[in-house]
Chains A and B, each alone.
Chain A
Amino acid sequence: MIKFALRRIALGIMIMVGSSVLIYALILAAPGGPEQKFAENPKYTAEQKAGYLKSLGLDKPVPVQYCRWLGACRRDKDGLDALIGPTGLPVFLPTPLSGINTGILHGELGYSYANGEGVGDSIAQAALPTLILAGLSIVIWLTLAVILGVWTGLKSGSKFDNTVTTFTYVTSTFPTFILGFMLIWIFAVTLGWTPVSGMTDARQFPAFGSELYWQYFGLDPAAALIDLARHLILPVSTLVLISVAGDSRYVRASVIDSMSMEHVRTARAKGLPYRRVIIRHALRTALVPFATNLGLAFPFLFGGALITETIFSWPGVGRLTLLATNGLDYPMLMAILLIASLMVVIGNLISDLLYAILDPRVRL
């Protein structure tokens, strides 16, 4: 079991390295880097250009740039010397061990082109709203999916099953943003029950997450929470409606599948009470593949709500990404993509481990 976990982790690290290369390559191909300034402006001489590039380290070959960006090479040396830090240990190890503190691996995520602030700080600040929105949505839709899926699976073929299945089918084919629009149109614009967008009421509260906001929060937590809740209703509903359909159908199929499995027939043949047959035999095997879906929900916490955040002007990571993309803010983009990939890899890891825990046949 431990070996299994270790192997998976090693694989994950390999994949992260690969994706960091891919991300770097992607951004490399993009226009708008520091060289652009010079490409347009004839006033700068060739030497000035060269000097500037050298100061940014851009005169080195691409692999070296990548290495430095990653934090596996130190910036003050060249060639193979760059791989070993002042402590004598390789540079890619954590700072206390290697003595180097530059590059992604040591937490230096860069500075935003847009406002010069640390990328890490901006991301952290945007992460909380996303966490609230995505986290709440995931909990709700996974619970609903399991309940609905098991219920319709056990009663498959019944009218209840047919109605639920048709309904979820239709909602699942709606593109997220169209559903979002519809909900806004119906509930916010026409009926006026909920606010149209945003995370907080700008007339009552300062921007979410700022110092001032927390002071307001402290003064009247109830009002702040209600405000938050009102703003959460539509975006969460959008996410839940879209996602519950797919997952509940998956659970339903699993349940139907496992009900027809031979070991369920054996359980019936043994004369076990119905409840035990269902829970211990049918569901236990049906939910194994679904449990692995839980691991895959992990990356969702970071980037899954991008579309919803856009429509509802939610100040989260999704919106941050869009701003960065629009403005070609590369350091921000690279950091976001990296973190997103990391979440995916971790999510896969969780999913694999859960599978191994739940299904003893997998622990090879």
Chain B
Amino acid sequence: MIKRGTPLLQVRDLAISFRTSRGLLRVVDGVSFDLAAGECLAVVGESGSGKTVSALALISLLSRRQSVIEGSVKFKGKELVGLSEDALRPIRGGGIGVIFQEPLSALNPVTTIGEQISEVIVAHRKLSWREAKKLAIGYLEQVEISQPDQRVRQFPHELSGGMRQRAMIAMALAGEPSMIIADEPTTALDVTIQAQVLEVLRRTTTERGAALLLITHDLGVVAETADRIAVMYAGQIVETGNAADVLRTPASPYTRDLITSIPSFAARGRKLATIKGMVPSPADFPSGCRFAPRCRYAIAACTTATPPLAPVGKSRLVRCIRAKDVVSGAARRAR
């Protein structure tokens, strides 16, 4: 039983390094956030920001041989970092479910959908295969897949992209977890299907009071679904806060640039806003603030030391020493 008030998931100073031919390379640094039961936290960032790696690291899904995880990840008060595979197993699927980005490769191509859902039930809930199969059909119904009793016997390649992703959601739900990590669940789908799948995801998690950790680079998805948002850049979190607030008044220069770079109808005819430069690779992280080379608010102090994640206003954390200027700059526009 978790104490009232303790977040479901507490991540503190999560750091992930990869073993490369040139030694240990730190790709994710000082990631800290909380996830409360039932809430939806979106982790946003471009490719290479470290968001997927961080999410996978929560349940140690990275290759143990090639990666080193440091820091603390507490799920329902229990420390996950450093646990053996055996100890982690009941939590994977049973406590924390995962939905991957590309269902065609994430699903076993030679096994039926039904079996892939049933095996989660059998593994975590001690039911027989026959009972599991019945439940599997039920889960398929919940994710709004038509003719679930037939789909159960089909193979992944026989389903459409949207259905496959919904089958993955069913698979994740089947363990009745308290939280689900969804890694770019809609990126591989058509726009029209994206909305459906997102809706199914949100509805099923809300129905059960399950928390949702949504990894995405699509701010539109965030606006639709998230309660809170964490923005990542170059392996670090640069801003966290209430989703609506952050999107309306970003306090980090990076977030601000991200938002303004979304083409809008109102800005028709004007030059498209871009962020100059490129995301640095982990081998070349600048010392000091990692966004400084591309930042229009950068000053000399920005390059001397990495700014810490500091509070700005109510329940907002920002990693920028000029956050206040960013906010006032943005506020001017919102009026």
A and B touch in the complex (CB under 8 A): yes
A268 interface contact, C-beta 8 A: yes
Residues of A contacting B171 in the complex (Cβ-Cβ under 8 angstroms): 266, 270
Residues of A contacting B175 in the complex (Cβ-Cβ under 8 angstroms): 270-271
A323 interface contact, C-beta 8 A: no
B109 and A276 contact, CB distance less than 8 A: no
Given contacts A262-B102, A265-B61, A272-B119, contact A359 B109 (CB under 8 A): yes
* Distance A276 CA – B121 CA, assembled complex (angstroms): 13
**Contact-residue bracket for chain A:** 20 to 34
* Distance A285 CA – B156 CA, assembled complex (angstroms): 14
* Distance A361 CA – B171 CA, assembled complex (angstroms): 21
Residues of A contacting B93 in the complex (Cβ-Cβ under 8 angstroms): 269-272
Nearest residue in A to B98 (C-beta to C-beta)? A269
B89 and A361 contact, CB distance less than 8 A: no
B111 and A280 contact, CB distance less than 8 A: yes
A285 and B100 contact, CB distance less than 8 A: no
A340 interface contact, C-beta 8 A: no
* Distance A272 CA – B175 CA, assembled complex (angstroms): 11
Nearest residue in B to A288 (C-beta to C-beta)? B110
B319 interface contact, C-beta 8 A: no
B94 interface contact, C-beta 8 A: yes
Residues of A contacting B124 in the complex (Cβ-Cβ under 8 angstroms): 271
Residues of A contacting B106 in the complex (Cβ-Cβ under 8 angstroms): 262-263, 265-266
Within 8 A of A (CB), among B114-139: 119-120, 123-124
Residues of B contacting A273 in the complex (Cβ-Cβ under 8 angstroms): 89, 123
Nearest residue in A to B59 (C-beta to C-beta)? A269
Q: Considering residues A261, A271, A274, which has the most beta carbons from chain B within 10 angstroms of its beta carbon?
A: A271
Residues of A contacting B123 in the complex (Cβ-Cβ under 8 angstroms): 270-273, 276
A284 interface contact, C-beta 8 A: yes
Residues of B contacting A266 in the complex (Cβ-Cβ under 8 angstroms): 98, 100, 106-108, 171
B109 and A280 contact, CB distance less than 8 A: no
B119 and A262 contact, CB distance less than 8 A: no
B92 interface contact, C-beta 8 A: yes
A42 interface contact, C-beta 8 A: no
Residues of B contacting A263 in the complex (Cβ-Cβ under 8 angstroms): 105-109
A284 and B108 contact, CB distance less than 8 A: yes
* Distance A272 CA – B61 CA, assembled complex (angstroms): 13
Residues of B contacting A361 in the complex (Cβ-Cβ under 8 angstroms): 109-110, 155, 157
Residues of A contacting B109 in the complex (Cβ-Cβ under 8 angstroms): 263, 285, 359-361
A360 and B89 contact, CB distance less than 8 A: no
Nearest residue in B to A359 (C-beta to C-beta)? B110
B193 interface contact, C-beta 8 A: no
Please give the distance in Å from B217's CB to the nearest CB on chain A. Answer: 19
* Distance A35 CA – B62 CA, assembled complex (angstroms): 75
Given contacts A268-B61, A270-B93, A272-B93, contact A360 B85 (CB under 8 A): no
A281 interface contact, C-beta 8 A: yes
Nearest residue in B to A266 (C-beta to C-beta)? B106
A276 and B92 contact, CB distance less than 8 A: no
Nearest residue in B to A273 (C-beta to C-beta)? B123
* Distance A358 CA – B98 CA, assembled complex (angstroms): 28
Nearest residue in A to B65 (C-beta to C-beta)? A157
B119 and A276 contact, CB distance less than 8 A: yes
B98 and A281 contact, CB distance less than 8 A: no
Please give the distance in Å from A121's CB to the nearest CB on chain B. Answer: 46
Residues of B contacting A271 in the complex (Cβ-Cβ under 8 angstroms): 88-94, 120, 123-124, 175
* Distance A285 CA – B108 CA, assembled complex (angstroms): 8
A residues neighboring B (CB under 8 Å) = 157, 261-263, 265-274, 276, 280-281, 284-285, 288, 358-361
B residues neighboring A (CB under 8 Å) = 59, 61, 65, 85, 88-94, 97-98, 100, 102, 105-111, 119-120, 123-124, 155, 157, 171, 175
User: Could you give 21 example pairs across A and B, Cβ below 8 Å?
Assistant: A261-B105, A262-B102, A262-B106, A263-B107, A263-B108, A263-B109, A266-B107, A268-B92, A269-B92, A270-B120, A270-B175, A271-B92, A271-B94, A271-B124, A274-B85, A280-B108, A284-B108, A288-B110, A359-B110, A361-B110, A361-B155
The list of the 8 closest CB pairs from A to B, nearest first, reads A271-B93, A271-B92, A270-B93, A269-B98, A262-B105, A263-B108, A271-B89, A266-B106
